[in-house]
Chain A
Amino acid sequence: MNKLWVFGDSFSEPFSKVKQLPWRIEYIQWKGYMPKCYGEIISNKLRLQHINSASSGADNYTILDTIINVLNTINSDDIIIIGWSSTLRFRVVNKKNTFSTILPAHITDAINLNKELSLLELSNSTLKELITNRDNLIYINELNNYIKLINFTFPNNKIIHWTPFLKQEKNGLLTTHNNLILKNLERVVEETIGKIDDYHYSENGQIVLAEEFINIIDNYRIKNFKKPML
């Protein structure tokens, strides 16, 4: 059975990975059942084994790491979907000697972050300065290089690169999808009419997103990336 590999952040993670995310718990309770994420919908429809390696709050370096960790187990008939996160996010080493992602929704959030991340030995001003430094298009270019390398590494696979952070595509991120559809995807806050104040995609949003991706997969033309061994 071929596989559907999904990498990314909370926008690609199944609802069943509730973790400590209050919005996810509240939304599942509000719905009265466990909604399906786009990866689950696609894998059911296309009869693929769904391997979801997305992780809430992930930065793009961690997403790339996750992909590289499983490089050798991805077969040429597998489909890969990567939901790249915000390039503002970055990672530092915490007191447990593991990586922690710094994830501002906005640059002004930086000062609040450090209070929450008690594991860090970095000052508020350092986090704020680093985030401000990252608010630059050059980090989109950095990510585009990662996308290029992945595309070259998997020349025979159908790969979808997308991002829920729409501004990034406008700023030149090399995605595979049509940005327009993402703008109109229903959010949790809309479906619940403000009862759950969260901007991740609702169940309907996930269904529409899955349909968009299936359409891309069905019409995907394998790009003839030049391989040196050919």
Chain B
Amino acid sequence: MSNLWVFGDSFSATNKRNNIEHWRRDYIKWKGYTTLVWPEFLNKILNYKLINLAISATDNYTIFDSIIDNIDKIEKNDIIIIGWSSTLRFRLVDKTNSFNTIRPSSDLKFSTLNIPFQYNNISLNTINEVLINRDTELYELELNRFIKIINLYLKDIKIVHWSPFQLQHPHLKIKKIEGIDTLETISIETNEEINDYHYSENGHLELSKKIYTMLYE
């Protein structure tokens, strides 16, 4: 059986986990059941073995690492879909000696900037200066090089690169998803009862259809 590999951030991560974010928990409670996300909808059609390695709130360096960690397990007939995150995000070593993603957001609820830092000797000023420094297309070009080497190594594999941040990062060499900004969000579906901008169940279903089309167009 071939595998459907999914890498990415919270826009690709499954709801079927023990530790989930507040907004996921609230949304599942609001819906009354655990909703599916686009990889699960897509796999209903493909019927592959779904291996979803997307990690909520992650950065592109960690996504890249995750792909390399698994690169020797990918087989000829597998499908790979990579949802790249914002190039503003970066990672630092935290107090547990692990990488932790710095994740800005216009909505402070999602931002790591307003919570106590778990890093050794890193000030808020440093985080801010680095984020400003990263606000340039150079980091999109850096990501394009990651995409290039992945494509070269996996040249005979069906692979789709996309990003929920495609509008903020126009220089990325990814498949642009038409109408990505019109996908229904949790906020819209719940009439702002849950103020979250990830995709709703319907949004995920629509996205899965768009990704299916990209795979076979």
A binds B: yes
Q: Does A130 contact B (CB under 8 A)?
A: yes
Q: Is the interface of A mostly helix, strand, loop or mixed?
A: helix
Q: Does B171 contact A (CB under 8 A)?
A: no
| Complex partner residue of B123 from A65, A72, A129, A142, CB under 8 angstroms | A129
User: Smallest Cβ distance from A71 to chain B, in angstroms?
Assistant: 5
User: Within the assembled complex, what's the spacing in Å between the Cα atoms of A150 and B71?
Assistant: 11
Q: Does B183 contact A (CB under 8 A)?
A: no
Nearest CB in chain B to that of A148: its residue: B68
User: Within the assembled complex, what's the spacing in Å between the Cα atoms of A136 and B122?
Assistant: 14
In this complex, how many residues of chain B approach chain A with their Cβ under 8 Å: the count is 42
Q: Does A61 contact B (CB under 8 A)?
A: yes
Are A149 and B129 CB-contacts (below 8 A) given A98-B138, A129-B122? no
Contact of A228 with B154 in the complex, beta carbons under 8 Å: yes
Q: Does B157 contact A (CB under 8 A)?
A: yes
Nearest CB in chain A to that of B136: its residue: A93
Q: Does A180 contact B (CB under 8 A)?
A: no
Q: Does A112 contact B (CB under 8 A)?
A: no
Residues of B within 8 A of A99 (CB): 138
| Complex partner residue of A228 from B74, B123, B126, B130, CB under 8 angstroms | B74
Residues of A within 8 A of B152 (CB): 71-72, 153
Q: Does B19 contact A (CB under 8 A)?
A: no
Q: Does B217 contact A (CB under 8 A)?
A: no
Contact of B134 with A226 in the complex, beta carbons under 8 Å: no
Stretch at the interface among A12-20, A118-126, A157-165: A118-126
User: Within the assembled complex, what's the spacing in Å between the Cα atoms of A130 and B91?
Assistant: 11
Q: Does A133 contact B (CB under 8 A)?
A: yes
Contact of A133 with B122 in the complex, beta carbons under 8 Å: yes
Q: Does A23 contact B (CB under 8 A)?
A: no
Q: Does A215 contact B (CB under 8 A)?
A: no
Residues of A within 8 A of B121 (CB): 129, 132-133
Interface residues as binary, B104-148 with A (CB distance below 8 Å gives 1, 0 otherwise): 000000000000000111110110011011101011001001101
User: Within the assembled complex, what's the spacing in Å between the Cα atoms of A230 and B76?
Assistant: 8
Stretch at the interface among B20-28, B52-60, B93-101: B93-101
Q: Does B153 contact A (CB under 8 A)?
A: yes
Residues of A within 8 A of B75 (CB): 228
Residues of B within 8 A of A130 (CB): 92, 126, 130
Find residues 40-65 in chain A having any chain B CB closer than 8 Å to their own CB. 61, 64-65
User: Within the assembled complex, what's the spacing in Å between the Cα atoms of A161 and B193?
Assistant: 55
Contact of B129 with A126 in the complex, beta carbons under 8 Å: yes
Q: Does A117 contact B (CB under 8 A)?
A: no
Q: Does A229 contact B (CB under 8 A)?
A: yes
User: Smallest Cβ distance from B96 to chain A, in angstroms?
Assistant: 10
User: Within the assembled complex, what's the spacing in Å between the Cα atoms of A142 and B66?
Assistant: 11
User: Within the assembled complex, what's the spacing in Å between the Cα atoms of A129 and B128?
Assistant: 13
Are A149 and B71 CB-contacts (below 8 A) given A122-B129, A129-B126? yes
Q: Does B175 contact A (CB under 8 A)?
A: no
User: Within the assembled complex, what's the spacing in Å between the Cα atoms of A132 and B136?
Assistant: 24
Contact of B136 with A133 in the complex, beta carbons under 8 Å: no
Complex A-B, nearest 4 residue pairs according to Cβ-Cβ distance, in ascending order: A229-B156, A68-B145, A126-B126, A145-B68
User: Within the assembled complex, what's the spacing in Å between the Cα atoms of A223 and B107?
Assistant: 49
User: Within the assembled complex, what's the spacing in Å between the Cα atoms of A64 and B123?
Assistant: 29
User: Within the assembled complex, what's the spacing in Å between the Cα atoms of A161 and B126?
Assistant: 33
Q: Could you give 29 example pairs across A and B, Cβ below 8 Å?
A: A64-B145, A71-B148, A93-B134, A93-B139, A97-B136, A99-B138, A121-B129, A121-B132, A121-B133, A122-B133, A123-B125, A126-B125, A129-B122, A132-B121, A136-B93, A138-B93, A138-B97, A138-B99, A139-B93, A142-B61, A145-B64, A145-B68, A149-B149, A152-B71, A153-B152, A153-B153, A225-B72, A226-B72, A229-B157
User: Smallest Cβ distance from A88 to chain B, in angstroms?
Assistant: 12
